[in-house]
Amino acid sequence: MALTGLRIDGRRPGELRKITSTTSVLSQADGSAYLEHGNTKVLAAVYGPREARHRALVVHDRAILNVEFNVAPFSTGERRRRTKNDKRLLEMASFIKQSFEPVVIAALYPRSQIDIYLQIIQQDGGILQACINAATLALIDAGIAMTDYVCACTAGWVEREAVIDLNHIEESSDTSEVTIAMLPKSNKVTLAQMESRLHVDKLEELLSLASEGCKQIHQVLDKTIRDRAEDLAQKMAV
Amino acid sequence: MDRKRVPGPELSVAPLVEYPSDFKRWTPLDEIRHDPKRQPEDMRPIYLKTGLISQANGSAYIELEKTKLACGVYGPRPVKKVGQVFSGKGVLYCEIKFATFSCAKRRTNIRDPQERELSQILSQALSPAIQLDKLPKSAIDIYITVLESDGWGSCVAAAITAASVALAHAGIEMLDLVAGCSAAYIQTGPSISSSKDSIAASRPPQIFMDADLEEEKYEQGAIVLAYMPSLNEVTHVLQSGKAEGSIISQSVEHCMEACNKIYAVMHHALLESINDNKEAL
Amino acid sequence: MSSSTTTTPAAVNGLATSPAFTFSASTFQKLHPTEFFRNFVSQGVRPDGRLLSSFRPTTVHYGVITTANGSAMVRIGGTTVVCGVKAEVAEPKLDSPDQGYLVPNVDLSPICSNTFRPGPPSEQAQVVSESINRVLKESKVLDLKDLCIEEGKAVWALWIDVVCVSYDGNIYDAALASVMAALKNVRIRKPTYEEGVVKVPGGEAADDENSFKLNLARTPLSTSFVLFDTSLTLLTDPNFAEESISQGQISVTIDEQGQLCAISKVGAASSSQTLLKQCVERARKRNEELRSIMNQ
Amino acid sequence: MALVADAVVPGQRLGHVQEFNAGVGTYSRQDFIYASVVGLKKITIENNELPTMTVERENTQSAMPDIDAIVTCKVVRVNPRFAAVNIMVVDGKPCTDDFQGIIRVQDVRATEKDKVKIYNSFRPGDIVRAQVISLGDARSYYLSTAANELGVIFGTSVAGGSLVPISWQEMQCTKTKVIELRKCAKPM
Amino acid sequence: MPSLISPAERDYILKGIECNVRADGRQRPDYREVTIETGVVSQTSGSARVRIAGGTDVLVSVKAEIGPVQVDPETGDGADKGQIVCNVECAPSASQQFEGRGADDLNNELTQMMSRFLSHNTNTPAHKSSSTEAGAPAAPAGPGGINLSKLCIIPGQQCWVLFVDALVMDYGGNLMDAIFMGTRAAIYDTRIPKTEVQDLGDGQFEFEVLDDAEDTDIVEGREDMPICVTLNKVSDHFTILSLE
């Protein structure tokens, strides 16, 4: 941490990386979104509500959510081909599934399945948060009923300073970081995930910082959706 | 290796073959084929017999000198794969497996990507010739085991020929038999300089029909053709490597003529199976 | 399927079909296989015309695969198996630095019978592979020390793979015979070992001077029987149909000096001592016959 | 050895569309008739119109149920709506792999269709002769035993003896003489 | 299963092709509009993205890594060659039919085709570079055009391995053309760092990679890379790049 209080990539502790996102990028998916959070690039596609693949999984009164992760072999510095049932990816997929279950109004689509496919194109830290934000955009683009957005943000403790939205270098230096997914309107936390040692009272500060980050992300996502909606409205109006 | 087989050492590798200095390996430079008796357009003699597998509905065994493979056809039988949607047409399922001892380098028991792709090539080459709409809701399974392979191209061609004969032997209604034939383009003749630009000036590559393993090592390109001789229609062309357009069309001509010769051998094998049935009764 | 005989007589014991329902022989065999066989066995003959104790024609061919170090094809009636042995270099186990590996595996792929599905080896394939593996190990067919190239560094690993091309019952006898014939046919080039690399001389002629054969201490061969129906009649060298309706199987493995290598009796039916003696006796006779075929 | 004179293989050109009709074992394509199976070429001449060219199949294709075929099958499962069966023989030819079939409760008999009790018609283990009425769905063919000569032809009674039909809906156990209810086939 | 087309719609398309007008207004031999960008993925030696109007979107990346040389025990050749390892992956997000294991066969087929065209001798089990015996006529650098000898660092020991990974993000028909255009663009965009080899005597070599960004090599022979055009036979006409 330089003396000027700036981080490695020149950001202030409370500053997010640049986020650019667009929706309806894929022709065949019901809903899709492409999100760049700094150098982390993620593509999300939503298919559904459609017929469940395995008859056994069908639930008679609501839709079931299925999340699948796919990492491009070239996404990290050193090329690594991950198999379909790589433990780490399955774990991430289940996190995302749990964070969207309370938000998607599944009761409207009984006996069906909603598939969320996440494709990581480039990794530079904050994979889980980028995927959750992209999945939110893709679900909305697919027109699936949701009670609220789900915005995710990471926060961590780097060299005795609480920072948000850690990049790859900050993540790999043994900092403690927490990822939380939040419903911006109702301020409820649907997912909090931390895997490193952290002092209890520091956690309080990180959580408030992360929720602050989520609000900022919410504005960006919301703006993307509204621009897209206006764009569609104009096209239809003409 | 997996738990379901008798375990061997994790890693075992073929010993390095050290040829004595005076040993002269065959090279195309001296313009004769690896087997001196054969001219460039000669095919290896084909031994083809039906009825090798007692349980199969139709079966065929083919030998081209060193290349040996057996083919079994089961069907039409109910589709076993779960989640199949109702189909008015029959489904063709093909699987080719190289025996572990079939090539110089030992192959694994588990199907590798190359065998999976070969299976797709085979079903693409054979399905146009089978009247699948006469077999609703059922599947035809073609299984091929390569016992020994002397040349990849000739193996694929032999597999197509054997599978087509096995299908006919199984009594399945077909439009025509499908004969398979392969050829390789090999640069012969001494006047070759290594620099790239003068390649064009040297002689065009020679077309060797039905190349064996030794010749395949020097091939610039290869072609495998699946051809219905009586209907004069090509069902599949698999061309790889680099060659001018004229060479390719010339090799397609050669392959078609060769397929007509192979058709006669298939014809003979199937008629023999009629005589065998006569004697058996 | 067995060749069809004329329509079976309507009044068949135990099957009180009224005369109206007569089937063709093949339909009758498909619907009531045990009934169908009982008619034949009660008259001491089998549907394919063999006596209860006769064997199917057996042939053995050596050196059928040139890309393998040793190979053999064995055909017993409708069952055809091809065994190939490939010798590769591997590191020895720590507890046996001068011993090579002998790895037999039988592959019952879907090509040989419509009962096998694609995928990992079926239970039956694993049982046959394991029993051959035990016979090779327990009866010390080959001294693993002969396979040592450089103690502690490099040894030969003989991958013995049996491919079943056509399955018509009695796979164990055919597979074991093919393994023994292939091992007899093995020829490995004499290796030279230099700092971690094993080299073998190339070139055409592989004669006794630049390559060696395996000296097999014993060559066990097996004969199998099945017990049919409640009457426990003994059927030798069962084909696929007989195997699928049998109550139990007995296999007797004997080597060339006539010593017993293995006996396995499997199946629900309990059988008397005399039956086992009868099997061993018949297996001994069959053994000579099989050996003469193999030594041609 | 002399090959059989007019034996043909699939794809062999047999004649012109004007000269013959394409019969069994042949197909016509761009005004030519070709053989579609291995077998012996036969020309059958009806009274007036064109002679038909057929190829009498040498090795029979493994049997496959098609519409109106008479099949013999074994009952596997019974539930109030239908009886699931394994089709083992089609038109007298055994098929190597059994096909799945179901006899729906409304196809058991022709009269009083709605009063049929399936467990009084079929029991698991019975051998039944039925007729294929449709290709059904992806898994099984739809069969019917409405005609008189269709129904149970062989069954084992509760006591284990074989059953003999004594009326169109009763069978008697040979051992214990107990009457069991079945939809029997009238002996031909 | 491909998208279900009603018989009427099928007939409409067929009739259109008969009179040389396709469903999207193109003529039979017309190509759809293609856009190619290079350098889209940062941590790679070279990358390219190909988009064909109508929904095909493929990302191809080339990563050069140092790996052991693959020697063929039989002929002992390949010791002085680099390698190309290809891999095509259809992301399940690309289309409905890639759900679950649906994409496996297509992935395998495209991967095998790519490796066959780039390094031709995939016939022998091991993916090995094109084999040219020293004495025999030196066939031009492999059919993929790329000169693999230039990729060798220390003959017999270390060489550059070019991992070509194609990721299909959206499937709108005609994958082969898109993948080949992407591969050619990615190989053009590829920069391989220079290596310095020190001879430590007695056959031992040591090499060191210079990692300043400007001074890098290009892939030799990249202009000979194959280009692929797919023709679909509809009724008895050939159309280029049909939609589905």
pLDDT tens string E23-38: 777 877 778 888 899 8
pLDDT band at A25 (very low <50, low <70, confident <90, very high): confident
SS3 C248: strand
pLDDT band at D61 (very low <50, low <70, confident <90, very high): confident
Residue E132 has pLDDT above 50, yes or no: no
CATH level 3 topology of A19-237: Ribosomal Protein S5; domain 2 (3.30.230)
Residue E162 has pLDDT above 90, yes or no: no
Span E127-144, average pLDDT: 36
Question: Residue E27: inside a domain, yes or no?
Answer: no
Q: What separation in angstroms does the CA of C151 have from each of B8, C188, C210?
A: 18, 18, 21
Contact call for C31 and D74, based on CB within 8 A: yes
Q: Work out the percent of chain B whose per-residue pLDDT is above 70.
A: 91
**Could you tell me the residue range of the domain that residue D44 belongs to?**
7-57
> Whole-angstrom Cα distance, residue D179 to residue D181?
7
Residue E122 has pLDDT above 70, yes or no: no
Render pLDDT for B29-62 as a digit per residue (tens, 0 to 9): 767 788 888 888 888 999 999 988 988 999 999 9
Among B154, B152, B155, B136, residue whose Cα is nearest residue B144: B155
Among B210, B201, B253, residue whose Cα is nearest residue B45: B210
Residue D144 has pLDDT above 90, yes or no: yes
Residues 16-55 of B with CB under 8 A from E: 16-17, 27-29
> Whole-angstrom Cα distance, residue C65 to residue C162?
12
Q: What is the mean pLDDT of chain D?
A: 86
Identify the burial level of E120 via C-beta atoms within 10 angstroms of its C-beta, where 0-12 means exposed, 13-18 middle and 19 or more buried. buried
> Whole-angstrom Cα distance, residue E147 to residue E163?
15
Residue C13 has pLDDT above 70, yes or no: no
Span E51-69, average pLDDT: 86
Taking CB atoms and an 8 Å cut-off, how many pairs form between chains C and D? 37
Domain ranges of chain A: 19-237
Look at residue D22 in the predicted model and tell me its pLDDT.
Answer: 84
| CB-based contact, D4 to chain B, within 8 Å | yes
Is there a single domain that holds both residue D53 and residue D74?
Answer: no
Give B53's contacts in chain C (Cβ within 8 Å). 80, 111-112, 165-166
Question: What contacts E222, CB < 8 A, 6 or more positions away?
Answer: E145, E146, E184, E187, E188, E190
Among B100, B92, B101, B146, residue whose Cα is nearest residue B121: B92
CA C3 to chain centre: 24
pLDDT band at C17 (very low <50, low <70, confident <90, very high): very low
| CB-based contact, A66 to chain E, within 8 Å | no
Among C10, C28, C14, C250, residue whose Cα is nearest residue C2: C28
Question: Residue D167: inside a domain, yes or no?
Answer: yes
Residue type, C286: R
pLDDT band at E242 (very low <50, low <70, confident <90, very high): very low
Residue D163 or residue E147, greater confidence: D163
> Whole-angstrom Cα distance, residue C264 to residue C176?
14
> Whole-angstrom Cα distance, residue B162 to residue B50?
9
SS3 E214: coil
Is there a single domain that holds both residue D94 and residue D31?
Answer: no
Look at residue C269 in the predicted model and tell me its pLDDT.
Answer: 66
Look at residue E45 in the predicted model and tell me its pLDDT.
Answer: 86
Span D132-143, average pLDDT: 89
Give B99's contacts in chain C (Cβ within 8 Å). 65, 82, 84, 161, 163
Residue E138 has pLDDT above 70, yes or no: no
Look at residue B10 in the predicted model and tell me its pLDDT.
Answer: 86
Is A192 within 8 Å of A202 (Cβ atoms)? no
**Could you tell me the residue range of the domain that residue E164 belongs to?**
32-233
Q: What separation in angstroms does the CA of D38 have from each of B173, B175, D54?
A: 9, 11, 11
Closest residue on chain C to B71 (Cα) = C111
ipTM of the modeled complex: 0.82
| CB-based contact, B280 to chain D, within 8 Å | no
pLDDT band at B199 (very low <50, low <70, confident <90, very high): very low
Span B75-96, average pLDDT: 81
Give A24's contacts in chain E (Cβ within 8 Å). none
> Whole-angstrom Cα distance, residue D13 to residue B273?
20
Span A146-163, average pLDDT: 87
Closest residue on chain A to E41 (Cα) = A122
| CB-based contact, B260 to chain D, within 8 Å | no
Test the D interface: residue of B230, B260, B268 with most D CBs within 10 Å: B230
Residue D65 or residue D60, greater confidence: D65
Render pLDDT for D147-178 as a digit per residue (tens, 0 to 9): 888 999 888 888 888 888 888 888 888 888 88
Contact call for E73 and B196, based on CB within 8 A: no
Which CATH number fits the domain that encloses residue B175?
3.30.230.70
* E169 CB neighbour count, 10 Å cutoff: 24
| CB-based contact, C7 to chain D, within 8 Å | no
Residue B125 has pLDDT above 90, yes or no: yes
From the CA of E143, how many Å to the nearest CA of chain B? 5
Identify the burial level of E215 via C-beta atoms within 10 angstroms of its C-beta, where 0-12 means exposed, 13-18 middle and 19 or more buried. exposed
Look at residue B84 in the predicted model and tell me its pLDDT.
Answer: 66
Look at residue A14 in the predicted model and tell me its pLDDT.
Answer: 83
Contact call for D72 and C18, based on CB within 8 A: no
Is A25 within 8 Å of A35 (Cβ atoms)? no
Contact call for B174 and D36, based on CB within 8 A: yes
Question: Which range scores top for mean pLDDT: C77-81, D161-165, E63-67?
Answer: C77-81
Residue A137 has pLDDT above 90, yes or no: yes
Give D32's contacts in chain B (Cβ within 8 Å). none
Identify the burial level of A233 via C-beta atoms within 10 angstroms of its C-beta, where 0-12 means exposed, 13-18 middle and 19 or more buried. exposed
Give C192's contacts in chain B (Cβ within 8 Å). 18
E neighbour chains, 3+ CB pairs within 8 Å = A, B
Phi first, then psi: give them for residue D35, nearest 5 degrees: -80, 145
Question: Residue E26: inside a domain, yes or no?
Answer: no
Look at residue E144 in the predicted model and tell me its pLDDT.
Answer: 63
Question: Residue E39: inside a domain, yes or no?
Answer: yes
Question: Residue E155: inside a domain, yes or no?
Answer: yes
pLDDT band at E76 (very low <50, low <70, confident <90, very high): low
Structural domain count, chain E: 1
Q: Which of A64-73, B118-127, E127-136 is the least confident region?
A: E127-136
The domain C58-213 having CATH identifier 3.90.110.10: the answer here is: no
Domain ranges of chain C: 58-213
From the CA of D163, how many Å to the nearest CA of chain B? 31
Question: Residue D65: inside a domain, yes or no?
Answer: no
* D1 CB neighbour count, 10 Å cutoff: 6
Exposure on the CB side of residue A15, measured as CA atoms within 13 A: 12
Among A172, A94, A178, residue whose Cα is nearest residue A131: A94
Residue E119 has pLDDT above 50, yes or no: yes
Question: Residue E11: inside a domain, yes or no?
Answer: no
> Whole-angstrom Cα distance, residue D64 to residue D66?
6
Residues 75-114 of D with CB under 8 A from C: 88-89, 92-94, 96-97
Question: Residue E177: inside a domain, yes or no?
Answer: yes
Render pLDDT for D103-133 as a digit per residue (tens, 0 to 9): 999 999 888 888 888 888 899 989 999 999 9
Span B238-251, average pLDDT: 86
Closest residue on chain E to B220 (Cα) = E139
Is C132 within 8 Å of C155 (Cβ atoms)? no
Which CATH number fits the domain that encloses residue D53?
2.40.50.100
| CB-based contact, A186 to chain E, within 8 Å | no
Residue D4 has pLDDT above 50, yes or no: yes
Is B17 within 8 Å of C202 (Cβ atoms)? yes
SS3 C145: helix
Q: Which of A79-83, C192-196, C248-252 is the least confident region?
A: A79-83
Look at residue C15 in the predicted model and tell me its pLDDT.
Answer: 43
Span B231-240, average pLDDT: 90
**Could you tell me the residue range of the domain that residue B230 belongs to?**
28-280
